[in-house]
């Protein structure tokens, strides 16, 4: 079993407080500033849990799609993936309501094969599986 760790420090109340998050397993980043306005207003150079989920989803999805295309014998030259995670006020409070994947790929595959691999990656990436069925995960896949 593999385990990855991150840590957060928070000071003050939710709406006026501030904190930091660090990627502990890799020591790749941190401390990174985080606060409430970055979640529901402009980020102003500060991250949010939702942005971190979007980064994780974009990376996980790209890796899953790259693996799927390679297994078909048509590895990607490049995959440009963007994920937009939406946070909205719901009856239950603020909630992540959807994650929108947009991917553009270049390689020696045709568009139909690319789109089929893209759908498979959407369903198979561990972050997609963690999010779904709790939230809607959408996909816009096309050749670059």
CA angle 132, 136, 139 (to 5 degrees): 100
Q: What is the CATH number of domain 49-143?
A: 3.30.300.20
- Per-residue pLDDT of 97-133, as tens digits, reads 999 999 999 999 999 999 999 999 999 999 999 998 8
Instruction: Indicate the domain borders of the chain.
Output: 6-40, 49-143
Q: Structure pTM? A: 0.92
* Spatial separation of the C-alpha atoms in residues 61 and 138, rounded to whole Å: 12
Residue pointed to by tokens 């490049």 = 78
* Spatial separation of the C-alpha atoms in residues 96 and 105, rounded to whole Å: 27
In this prediction, residue 134 carries a pLDDT of: 86
């Amino acid at each position: 079993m593999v385990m990855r760790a991150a840590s957060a420090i928070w000071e003050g109340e939710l709406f006026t407080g501030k904190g930091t998050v660090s990627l502990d397993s890799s020591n790749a980043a941190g401390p990174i500033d985080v606060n409430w306005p970055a979640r529901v207003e402009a980020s102003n150079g500060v991250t949010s849990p939702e942005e971190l989920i979007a980064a994780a989803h974009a990376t996980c999805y790209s890796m899953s799609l790259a693996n799927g295309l390679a297994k078909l014998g048509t590895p990607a030259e490049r995959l440009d993936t963007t994920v937009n995670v939406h946070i909205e006020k719901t009856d239950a409070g603020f909630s992540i309501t959807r994650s929108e994947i947009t991917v553009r790929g270049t390689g020696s595959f045709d568009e139909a094969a690319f789109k089929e691999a893209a759908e498979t990656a959407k369903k198979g990436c561990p972050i997609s599986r963690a999010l779904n069925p709790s939230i809607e995960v959408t996909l816009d896949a096309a050749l670059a």
